[in-house]
Structure 1
Amino acid sequence: MIRPADSVDFAGLIRPGDLVLCGQGTAEPLTLTRRLVAQKDAIGPFTCFLGATFSDTFAPERSAGIAFRSYGAIGTSAALARAGVLDVLSCHYSALERAFRTGAMRADVVLLQVAPPPPGRSGYSLSLTHDYVALAARHARLVIAEVNPQAPWTHGAALPEERAPDLYVAADAPPQELGAARFGDTEAAIARHVASLVPDGACLQFGVGATPVAALSGLGGHRDLGIHSGVIGDVCVDLIERGAVTNARKPFDRGVTIANTVLGTRRLFDHVHDNPAVAVHPASRTHDHATIAAIPNVRAINSAIEVDLTGQVNSEIAGKNYVGAVGGLVDFVRGALASEGGRSIIALPSTTKDGRTSRISVGIGTVTVARSDADLVVTEHGVADLRGIGLAERARRMIAIAAPEHREALERASRERA
């Protein structure tokens, strides 16, 4: 039976000290999370585990008193990190999902969003993400599913039969949407360089943000591209409709776009709804090293906060603030490097928005991707191929793609460190 949302009394369901895990991104069960925050004072102290968050449900001024934990500070959860109430677990996305699957990490209460079956189908669907939330539910004391008829029913994302939800609650809001990040001339210039590195028939993985979106937008003239990615967005629909993405050359999942999480707008939701050409799979498949390595010509296209002269990548911390995550970056970088003909592309603007700080740096304090995994780095000024060369030559190539006004300082600092 599906209960109305106003019948849910979290004070009688959640115990003080519990860890409450909520669906992330566009799969956040907004009806449940909003009610959770509204009833927080009646519950007592508890911890909320969040993933990538794009709603304002947990804004610091609204959620005071709740402790937060996450694998990163993506989207609006970055405000929680700035407020000092977000405990970040620095781990690979694949490891996070494995920990919940095995019970090494546990949640007491799980709140998730599901889609009811369309005519001719059976069973609820996890809809917009097939992630660690479903795996955490296996070991949770209480699982509450928000049934959202406006959420798409997706292939590959069946609700696990071994742990049915304890309660089903009717949604009173459509799924959270995430519009494509806007990009400007700098990102467009980066995209042109990236396009030259992507052959027809390549299989794409890509991250979130303006730079990856720009890079994908520049691939409309390519043909027979495939997608095997942690996330997909609205730009993927553009590529499919233009005939650039067909998934025709993948050795398996031929003709099918593979993702773990769907982040986009109603247009994307309508595209994936009961569409057998799109499948939403768990990280044990999307982020699996052997699976990625078995796909030829993978192009992993990701951005970063900064890259140093040796090729080390920071995708987590800007200044003193945690604003990103390890996420699936290393999973896909290493998978692409193991792919026959595969390449890892780290694309980023050469400076911060105000131009004062170079994002090509002499050294970095936070290393997300080691220099031993460095491959291609792209800015608006060109491409640095870091394969098979020593550190001195790496520094020269990285300086060549830095902003011209910062090159002299980088060269001087590089000589001083030599």
Structure 2
Amino acid sequence: MESMNIITPEEAVNLVKSNDEIVTGLGCSEGRSFMESLHLVADKVENVSVTNCLPMNKFDFMEEKYKDVFFINGWFYSPAVRALHRNGNASFIPNNLHFAATKRLAHKQPSIYVGACSAVDKHGFVSLSMGNTYEKRMMDAADIVILETNKKFPRTFGDVDVHVSDVDYFIEADYEVPELPHVESNEKDKKIGQYIADYIQDGDNLQFGIGGIPNAVAAALYDKKNLGIHTEMLTSEIAKLAQAGVINGSKKTLHKGKIVTTFIMGNQLLYDFVDDNPSVMVLDGNYVNHPSIIAQNDNQVSINTTLEIDLTGQCASESIGPIQYSGTGGQADTARGAQDAKNGKSFIALYSTAMIRNKETGEREERSKIVPFLTPGAVVSLQRNDVDHVVTEYGVAELRGTTVNERVERLIAIAHPKFRNELWQQAKELNIIGGDLDAIYAEQR
């Protein structure tokens, strides 16, 4: 086995030069030891960019005092990056997840890639362990590749094997794999979860993520049989369903018998499940999330959530007004892919209302999340042409092939009852439905 070039985190960050573009792994794959030390070179460099996606930690280099040295580019915001955005030293990279690597590389090449990996095996390989959404493509393009080898990270299979000869430097790490706290499902989640579960048939192939609603969907699936998984994110709830025998992939038309994902994030139960498990395939994000690949799974079901939806079906899933909150991720990828699949279905779920602070009074008040038009400046994460089923705690609106008038009727039917009359009135006043269009155009002229 070839020798590994092992360096300390301090030696690693001293490789950074002014104007460098550093890329780190998604979520649990970020290079934690390197990032924890990056602030140590703040007085030696300038104009250094760090590109990340759903970072799990807040590091010292992210502090406001370093904002003139380090700038964050994010494919998907987490709380730490939202704070940096407010400070003026972070910017979002609009993307559909399957294009995250390829479109970014068409614009900018990385100077350094740094990420986490498993311990080296007897054949001289490490596993990228927790994901390959964009990681390998960035490694191939980077001038310098640094991996943090860690025996606590599971060894996974798929497009994640890397030979030590393809890595410039290794950092020996011993931190725990980051875990996500379990989110308990409330009564609204359980109602929404059951509505969706009622549409899922034995043998269906699923994609879903994390949170109260996805967890509630998973909890309602234990009476199903022979389910499959083709998902961007592999979660703890999916592992539990697999261990219970609900998920076995026996009816899959693509990668039969395999759980297919592009990144892993959850708890220790999940990490133990994926470790040395050949039934789990961690594949390149450009492949896993490409709509044309997703569509090769018969009976594919996509389950996602949104923050707000208008009466025609436009979904704002990543911003609150113009303020970036999270990211598009794979919502558009999976919704389109599922609907292109034979017998495929796509679901967008949300609560019917939210408690929003009134800017004038300062008091929180209940407002409908089904609205006549999106909050000004809101980003449309999923255009209305790609919306299939919409679910709240009041039911399911099936929008496939419907007119705008039919969408208004069906979406109002699953809005909170206290807002339904108001929504009907607004739909009429704004000419979303009905109205003398000739007269409107004449007024505009």
Which residue is equivalent to 2:97? 93
Match of 1:360 in 2: 370
Give the stretch that moved more between structures: 360-369 or 336-345. 360-369
CA distance in 1, matches of 2:223, 2:276: 28
Q: 1:175 aligns with which of 174, 177, 196?
A: 177
Runs of 4+ off more than 6 Å: none
Instruction: Name 2:117's counterpart in structure 1.
Output: 114
Aligned to 1:305: 307
Give the letter aligned to residue 37 of structure 2: R
Q: Name the counterpart of 1:289.
A: 291
Change (3 A) 1:118 1:267: farther
CA displacement 1:200-222 (0-9 Å, x = unmatched) = 11100113333222222221221
Specify the alignment match of 2:59 in structure 1.
57
- Who is 1:404 aligned against? 417
| Alignment of 1:393 onto 2:396 | no
Q: Distance in 2 between matches of 1:96 and 1:214?
A: 29
CA contact (8 A) 2:215 2:237 kept: yes
Q: Does 1:326 align with 2:339?
A: no
Provide the C-alpha distance between the structure 2 equivalents of 1:75 and 1:333, rounded to a whole number of angstroms: 26
Match of 1:343 in 2: 345
Alignment RMSD, CA only? 2.1
| TM-aligned CA distance change 1:87 to 1:163, over 3 Å | farther
Mapping for residues 50-199 of structure 1, pairs under 5 Å: 50-57=52-59, 60-61=63-64, 64-65=67-68, 66-99=70-103, 103-117=106-120, 123-160=125-162, 164-199=166-201
After superposition, what is the alpha-carbon deviation per residue over 1:126-166, rounded to whole angstroms, capped at 9, x for unaligned?
10011212211212111111111100110114345598121
Number of the residue aligned with 2:442: none
Cα contact 1:180–1:235 (8 A) shared by 2: no
Q: Which runs of 5+ in 1 are unaligned?
A: none
Deviations 1:286-345 (A, max 9, x none): 112222111111110000111111111111111342112111111111100100100110
Kindly indicate whether the alpha-carbon contact (under 8 Å) linking 2:51 and 2:74 is maintained by their aligned counterparts in 1.
yes
CA shift at 1:192, angstroms?
Answer: 1.0
- 8 Å CA contact 1:145–1:168 kept in 2: the answer is yes
CA distance in 1, matches of 2:258, 2:65: 41
Cα distance in 2 for residues equivalent to 1:118 and 1:163: 13
Q: Is the counterpart of residue 369 in structure 1 residue 382 in structure 2?
A: yes
Contact 1:68 1:87 in 2 (8 A): yes
Q: 2:44 and 2:92 mapped to 1: Cα distance?
A: 26
Deviation of the 1:188 alpha carbon? 1.2
**Cα offsets for 1:230-263 (capped at 9, x unmatched):** 0011111111122211111001311111100001
Aligned-partner Cα distance in 1 for 2:372–2:325: 21
Q: Could you tell me how far apart the structure 1 residues matched to 2:37 and 2:353 are?
A: 42
* Equivalent of residue 16 in structure 2, options 14, 17, 23: 14
Q: Which residue identity does 1:107 align to in structure 2?
A: P
TM-score, normalized by length of structure 1?
0.93
Q: Once the two structures are superposed, what CA deviation does each residue of 1:188-207 show, in whole Å capped at 9, x if it has no partner?
A: 11111111111111100113
After TM superposition, the structure 1 stretch with the greater mean CA deviation from structure 2, 362-371 or 335-344, is 362-371
Deviation of residue 284 (structure 1)? 2.5
Check 1:153–1:63 CA distance in 2 against 1; reply closer, same or farther (3 A cut).
farther
Give distance in 1, aligned partners of 2:290 and 2:12. Answer: 39
Structure with higher Rg: it is 2
Q: Which residue number corresponds to residue 218 of structure 1?
A: 220
Distance in structure 2 (CA, Å) of the matches to 1:30 and 1:84: 23
Q: Is the 8 A contact 2:10 2:37 kept in 1?
A: no
Tell me the SS of whatever aligns to 1:270.
helix
In structure 2, stretches of 5+ residues that fail to align are 357-364, 432-445
Distance 2:6 2:165 in 1: 19
- In the alignment of these two chains, the number of paired residues is 415
Note if 1:203 corresponds to 2:205.
yes
Tell me the alpha carbon deviations over residues 360-415 of structure 1, each in whole angstroms, 9 at most, x when there is no partner: 11112421111111110000110000112210110011011111122122111111
Using the TM superposition, name which of 302-311 and 151-160 deviates more. Answer: 151-160
Question: Is the contact made by 2:232 and 2:288 (CA closer than 8 Å) also made in structure 1?
Answer: yes
TM-score by length of 2: 0.88
Shift of 1:283: 1.4
